Amino acid sequence: MNRIQIRNIGQIGGLSEGEACTPGGNFFTHGGNQGSIWSSTEDAWLLVEGKHIIKWGPMSDEPSLPPHTEVWDANGAWVMPAFVDPHTHLVHSGTREQEWKARLQGASYQEIAAAGGGIMHSVRSLRKAEFSALLDESRIRLESIRSMGVGSLEIKSGYGLDFDSESKMLRTTRTLAHEYPDMNIHSTCLALHAIPPEYCEDANSYVRKVTQEWIPVWAEEGLIDFVDIFCERGYFGLEHLDALLECAHQLGLPVRAHVNQFSVMGAVKRAVEGGALSVDHLEELDDADLEALKNGETYPILLPGCSFFLGIPYASGRKLADAGLRVVVGSDYNPGSAPGFNPFLTLSLSCLKLGLMPEEALNAMTIHAAGSLQLSDRAGSIGRGKEASLLFISGLKDWSTLAYHFGHIPPLRVMLKGRFI
Ligand code: NIG
Ligand code: FE
């Protein structure tokens, strides 16, 4: 087993000392959302054994090295947990620059979708793509996001919308997870992303097909960890969300849901009461939605990259944090509404546009994001026995420096499950 003692660490951030988090566990009770979770230790050493963090302490009190221990001098670099991205559509075929240019000239995302573009554009292209080509294309993105310090991520299907094409997407995600065992890659079925043309606007029949026939097969084959739905006018409604919640409940699969991107329709309350693990987007939010979130356990996941790229309102991160909620932030990386996944830009947008303080934004992209993927026991924080998926960063004045230089990737070394990549 490899054993590495890292010496001369400027500061350790994202410590969750002593936590034995249950899945979906609540770090929030240990210090609120205001940054106290983002506690740090200065001038430190840290011991990694195999894939795990064993212990750490101040350099003034460095123990003698156990035999066969490699030493790495961090030379004053600061260390934090690798980012966790809880919402991506990383597997897709081709990009949509033409539509983006149409938007630059005034067309809206919804107008493009109504004219047969948008998600359906990506569906046509994905259906034609060979599995190997889809895998190659997706692997390039995965390599890129991991090099930027994302150690765990969720990937959705939703550009196939027929059994074989959705299966192709889900298998691509599982293959990537197999190829990159030093990451945690979770697979979400988003077959309820849009109504496919074969169902000629008959959403009810399509939802029945997906919930009663397809999802049970994918669950049986071990292809999915979560299920998701796009609740929106022209897409899926509350009765469809109910059908998904019911199917997920029977199969023991946690639900994530795209809600309130463009309209408030009561989906937040329904999802929270139905026990959904996360509600994602929330650019539009009314008081009833906020109340429902306050009374439930569902994680709110905010996606500032989508608002940035589409020019739509930003979610009220400040309001949600002030309500005491465990705010989570993700990239929403996808070819239509957020074709970028740089976590450092997402961090800056979280501060500048969602109203979070830098430490809150860091919590949102590490500890809380891990909770929203049921990974708190191993990822998203630095604690004994947690995975040694760590970022070593030079040149920080304080943790806010990471968000201050927007879109900038600082000098970075990435360790995933105990090995530098
Ligand atoms: O999360 N809102 C729905 N789905 C994606 C966008 C999908 C696309 O445009 O390709 C989102 O923003
Ligand atoms: Fe999304």
pLDDT in tens, 138-172: 999 999 999 999 999 999 999 999 999 999 999 99
The ligand that comes nearest to the alpha carbon of residue 188 is 2
Structure tokens at 243: 């059908």
By most ligand atoms within 8 Å of CB, the mutation choice from 95, 119, 233 for ligand 1 is 119
> The sheet that has 184-192: what strands, in order across it?
83-85, 150-156, 184-192, 226-229
Ligand 2 centroid–CA 88 distance in Å is 6
SS3 381: coil
Q: How far is CA 294 from the centre of its chain?
A: 21
pLDDT at 123 over 70: yes
- pLDDT band of residue 40 (cuts 50, 70, 90) is low
- pLDDT band of residue 33 (cuts 50, 70, 90) is very low
Average pLDDT taken over every residue of the chain: 93
Ligand 2 centroid–CA 337 distance in Å is 8
- pLDDT band of residue 39 (cuts 50, 70, 90) is low
pLDDT at 26 over 90: no
Closest atom of ligand 1 to 280 CA is: 1
Q: What is the mean pLDDT of the segment spanning 220-233?
A: 98
**pLDDT score of 308:** 98
What CATH number belongs to 84-372?
3.20.20.140
β-pair partners for 249: none
- Which residues, 6+ apart, have CB-to-CB distance to 53 below 8 Å? 46, 47, 382, 383, 384, 385, 386, 387, 388, 390
**pLDDT score of 17:** 58
Structure tokens at 325: 């909620």
The ligand that comes nearest to the alpha carbon of residue 230 is 1
SS3 162: coil
**pLDDT score of 301:** 98
- pLDDT band of residue 16 (cuts 50, 70, 90) is confident
DSSP 212: I
**pLDDT score of 15:** 86
Q: Where are the domains of the chain?
A: 3-82+380-420, 84-372
Q: How far is CA 100 from each of CA 19, 163, 416, rounded to the nearest angstrom? A: 45, 29, 35
By most ligand atoms within 8 Å of CB, the mutation choice from 85, 87, 88, 89 for ligand 1 is 89
> The sheet that has 278-281: what strands, in order across it?
256-259, 278-281, 299-302, 328-329
Greatest Cα pair distance, the chain, in angstroms, is 70
Report the sign of the C-alpha dihedral through residues 262, 347, 52, 17, in that order. negative
Structure tokens at 261: 């991107």
| pLDDT tens readout for residues 324-373 | 999 999 999 999 999 999 999 999 999 999 999 998 999 999 999 999 99
Q: What is the mean pLDDT of the segment spanning 285-311?
A: 97
Q: How far is CA 230 from the centre of its chain?
A: 16
SS3 253: coil
- With residue 141 as reference, give the H or E element that holds it: helix 131-147
Ligand 1 centroid–CA 264 distance in Å is 17
% of the chain beyond a pLDDT of 90: 88
Q: Answer for the pair 129, 159: CB distance below 8 angstroms, yes or no.
A: no
**Residue at token pair 């109340």:** 291
pLDDT at 275 over 80: yes
> What is the C-alpha separation between 327 and 341, in angstroms, rounded?
18
CATH class of the domain whose range is 3-82+380-420: mainly beta
Q: What is the mean pLDDT of the segment spanning 202-221?
A: 98
- Which residues, 6+ apart, have CB-to-CB distance to 139 below 8 Å? 176, 179
Closest atom of ligand 1 to 121 CA is: 10
Is the model's pTM score more than 0.75?
Answer: yes
- With residue 398 as reference, give the H or E element that holds it: none
Neighbouring C-beta atoms of residue 310, cutoff 10 Å: 19
> What is the C-alpha separation between 402 and 404, in angstroms, rounded?
6
Q: Answer for the pair 169, 157: CB distance below 8 angstroms, yes or no.
A: yes
**pLDDT score of 37:** 45
SS3 300: strand
